[in-house]
Chains A and B, each alone.
Chain A
Amino acid sequence: MFIYNAPIEKLIALDNNIFLLQVYCPEIASVIQPGQFLNVKVSEGVFPLLRRPFSVCDVEGESLFLMFNILGEGTKLLAKKHIGETIDILGPLGNGFNLQGSFDTAVIVAGGLGAAPFPYLIRKIGDEKNIKCFVGGRSSHYVIQYGMKNILTSTDDGSLGYKGTVVSLLRENLTSIISSKPKIFACGPNAMLRTLKEFTIENNIECEASIECVMACGFGICQGCPIETVDKPEKYSLVCKDGPVFNVRDVVI
């Protein structure tokens, strides 16, 4: 874990109110793994007071990329940052995705801003495995395809791609997924992850998901981000320290 004042190198506005922030942070860039996250203080003062967690979106050389949409006061401030200004980054935090194993195809399942951790994961996998991406959102506006490969899209309203949830889209493609010796890597709203968990258990597909949770510190001292595990229901684990990536079979989502 490091704390750095990382200079902003670039702020890129993608479509749909989505931003990519590129910061220079060689210490973290050299060690962070896909699925790990950063806890960022976007201002120096007490507004906003707490850090904001962001999964690492990508790494290029000594630079980190964070993906965000303007949701609250913190991200509003972040979108107004200028090149050369610094942000205070704590990281790398948590446990990332396990890219080792006997699968042939990495199946990415992303809902909305759940797309954030995958450009880096796809970069890390490189040509070693096949990659298939299933990207969903409420409407075309919420479907983020940045950094993805071999994409199938879904929207709840049918404005882009398959009409329905991204898990329904997976179901439609079950035969080809199963035959590709898959492992699923997922991130998105809890409702999506719950149905995905059922789907992967029914079909005996290994699945890791990055779980989102409100937290303060990001490294275990505030105890603000509990998650129940299947094997120890009498005791909470913490999303920040024990996750944020879990095997979906292990946790109660």
Chain B
Amino acid sequence: MSKVDLTVRVGSLKFRNPILLASGTVGYGNEISDFVDLNKIGGIVTKSLSLKPRKGNPPQRIVETPAGMLNAIGLQNVGVEEFLKEKIPFLKKFDVPLICNIAASTVEEYVECTRLLTSEEFIKGFEINVSCPNVKEGGLQFGNDLSAVGKITQRVKAVTNKPVFVKLSPNVSYISEFAKVVKEEGGDAVSAINTLVGTSFNINTRKPKIFNVFGGLSGPAIKPIALAKVLEIKQKVDIPIVGIGGIMNWKDVVEFMIVGASAIQIGTLNFIDPTASGKMVSDLENYCIENNIQKISDLTGSFILQN
């Protein structure tokens, strides 16, 4: 029995600890399960699902940047039908809350995906991706549009009783305005942040390194930005936040919780050290013991701003 209560709540969803695995960095769970005991982590968020399978972008899809990486995968995924038939059975072997991330090109597609997935009991909630920078239709054009984010939230909530998180884009002036709309339209939480739009060019060929030209920047390079966005939301809107962006170790988890995150997601780190998320749980517990914190959820929003 753990001496510290590591459980956290995000809306009505309870997780055994605040560490979730981020969408697009763990596929559908099978590869990462060789490295992490999925029965020990807080939760898992699937690769973005669309109604039909998506092929994704041609190579090159990835380029490393200082303390970060750009990716433009282009939402390659198996589609809702194959996910339910072929991927869910593997995930059902684990005692881990599953959040399905949904990406779509139209409002109707978001709704239809949610409707099809919500009847699967093993799925505990949804994360709506309104902020993928790497596809031509949908994605960021929704993420930059307050009324579109509101409409998607409202329409998706109308077809499911399960919690809906909306994953927000940092490529906006005031992310808190989007969090406010999500709350007003009945969203249960926001995930912040998705990747930042970036690019990289070859100075000899003068061509972009990534086929898609633009990609999403992730990794420790974006952590300060992600923290600032989480803090902005926390100060302006009363909605649970799932913090994401460049988390590399347990200290980063604590920092995200202090500025306002109820839970966090590990993304790029899974590519580098796929065992890392599993190891963080005991480190977090030690931090709580050393600092006399009985419930890790007490960290959420516990920042002190005055000097």
Q: Is B270 an interface residue (CB 8 A)?
A: yes
List, in ascending order, chain A residues with CB within 8 A of B32's CB.
Answer: 221
* B35-74 residues at the A interface, CB under 8 angstroms: 35, 47, 53, 55-64, 66-69, 71, 73
B interface majority secondary structure = loop
Among B31, B63, B275, max chain A CB count under 10 A is at B31
Which single member of A3, A47, A222, A236 contacts B271 (CB below 8 Å)?
Answer: A222
The verdict on A51 contacting B59 (CB below 8 Å), with A220-B27, A221-B25 known, is no
List, in ascending order, chain A residues with CB within 8 A of B26's CB.
Answer: 221
List, in ascending order, chain A residues with CB within 8 A of B66's CB.
Answer: 47
- The answer to whether A217 touches B56 (Cβ under 8 A) is no
Name the interface size band of chain B.
35 or more
| B248 (CB) vs chain A CBs: closest residue | A46
A interface majority secondary structure = loop
Minimum distance in angstroms from B37 CB to a CB of chain A: 15
Number of A-B contacts (CB under 8 A): 95
| B54 (CB) vs chain A CBs: closest residue | A235
- The answer to whether B220 touches A224 (Cβ under 8 A) is no
- The answer to whether B274 touches A221 (Cβ under 8 A) is yes
List, in ascending order, chain B residues with CB within 8 A of A234's CB.
Answer: 53, 55
List, in ascending order, chain B residues with CB within 8 A of A48's CB.
Answer: 64
The verdict on A221 contacting B270 (CB below 8 Å), with A47-B66, A49-B68, A213-B59 known, is yes
List, in ascending order, chain B residues with CB within 8 A of A227's CB.
Answer: 59
Minimum distance in angstroms from A193 CB to a CB of chain B: 14
List, in ascending order, chain A residues with CB within 8 A of B57's CB.
Answer: 226
List, in ascending order, chain B residues with CB within 8 A of A217's CB.
Answer: 270-272, 274
> A74 to B58, alpha carbons, bound, how many Å?
25
List, in ascending order, chain B residues with CB within 8 A of A51's CB.
Answer: 271-272
Which single member of A49, A226, A228, A235 contacts B219 (CB below 8 Å)?
Answer: A49
List, in ascending order, chain A residues with CB within 8 A of B270's CB.
Answer: 217, 221
List, in ascending order, chain A residues with CB within 8 A of B73's CB.
Answer: 222-224
> A34 to B97, alpha carbons, bound, how many Å?
40
- The answer to whether A226 touches B61 (Cβ under 8 A) is yes
C-beta contact mask, A1-36 vs B, less than 8 Å → 1, else 0? 101000000000000000000000000000000000
Q: Is B76 an interface residue (CB 8 A)?
A: yes
Q: Please provide the 5 A-B residue pairs with the shortest distance between their CB atoms, ordered closest to farther.
A: A224-B62, A217-B271, A216-B271, A46-B67, A220-B31
Other than the known A49-B68, A222-B25, what 18 A-B pairs have Cβ atoms closer than 8 Å?
A: A46-B220, A49-B67, A50-B69, A214-B59, A214-B62, A214-B63, A216-B71, A217-B274, A221-B31, A222-B62, A222-B71, A223-B24, A223-B27, A223-B76, A224-B61, A224-B71, A226-B56, A226-B58
